[in-house]
Homo-oligomer: A and B are copies of this chain.
Amino acid sequence: MSLELISQNKVAGGWLKRYRHQASSLNCDMVFAIFLPPQAEEQSVPFLYWLSGLTCTDENFTQKAGAFKAAAELGLALVCPDTSPRGTELPGEHDSYDFGSGAGFYVNATAAPWNAHYQMYSYVSEELPALVEAQFPFNGKRAISGHSMGGHGALICALKNPERYSSVSAFAPISNPTDCPWGEKALAGYLGEDRSIWQQWDASILIRRSREGLKLPLLVDQGTDDQFLAEQLKPEALAAACTSADYPLQLRMQPGYDHSYFFISSFIDDHLRFHAEHLR
């Protein structure tokens, strides 16, 4: 469980640190970033996990989201993993922007050759939290958020483990991956062609099944001018599932915003405040 410090930058009164470590669930070396707010120098703090979208690494969020000032004010640590195993060189792994490297989809692959490495669900929901929560001043409370593929990942992690998180949010999540091109490609590739197995990785389906379970506060922002809205993201499926299951969704359609980090940076402070309130 050794961590190799790659870089550190002071920002907003806290510290952004990048580490490399050997990820046993993924069978490769991985890099992640953690922002420690100034409060972490004297006390333990809650952790917010951020899962990024297709083609991203840990750096897109840390460089573009503009989240550190609010996180410092709120005393939130931010943990930013990468989006897939790295350095594994599987056949065809780098051929598509929406499958393989940069596109782990936060599932546990069962189909060869992906199942040897692509266990991103276990990595982001178990291995990485166990590591960082032992190494850094963690107060026992965590929340999760993400963008696009990472919004899907955040929803999946929270819906499968509601007792582990205080709240969940997403920007433009892939809300119904069993019924969109990105999701169908990823789920078929990582899990095989049996669609019944895919259902356990679909937020809208999991929410419909959650009627009796623990429900978490859920905030979703979606730009109305997002080029992927109709074909890939389908917030209407998520909204319908939440209505059906009486799940407490706050879905905000944001006029004129697209799928970029400019959209995320416009509303990230709202998400941090939302989580901070429920992490109290």
Contacts and interface: CB of A to CB of B under 8 A. Distances in A.
A69 B262 CA distance: 10
Interface residues of A, number: 23
- For the complex of A and B, the 9 pairs showing the least CB-CB separation, nearest first, are A66-B66, A11-B262, A9-B262, A10-B256, A10-B257, A12-B266, A63-B64, A11-B266, A9-B260
10 contacts: A10-B257, A10-B258, A10-B262, A11-B262, A12-B265, A12-B266, A64-B64, A66-B68, A69-B265, A69-B269
Interface string A1-31: 0000000011111001000000000000000
A41 to B, nearest CB: 12
Q: Is the interface of A mostly helix, strand, loop or mixed?
A: mixed
Nearest to A261: B63
A65 to B, nearest CB: 8
A225 interface: yes
A263 interface: yes
Interface string A246-257: 000000000011
A66 B12 CA distance: 11
A11 B225 CA distance: 12
A186 to B, nearest CB: 27
Contact of A9 (B10, B63, B258): B258
A66 B260 contact: no
A265 B11 contact: yes
A66 B66 CA distance: 5
A280 B256 CA distance: 30
A262 B61 CA distance: 12
A58 to B, nearest CB: 14
A34 to B, nearest CB: 14
A68 B261 CA distance: 12
Contact of A225 (B10, B69, B225, B263): B10
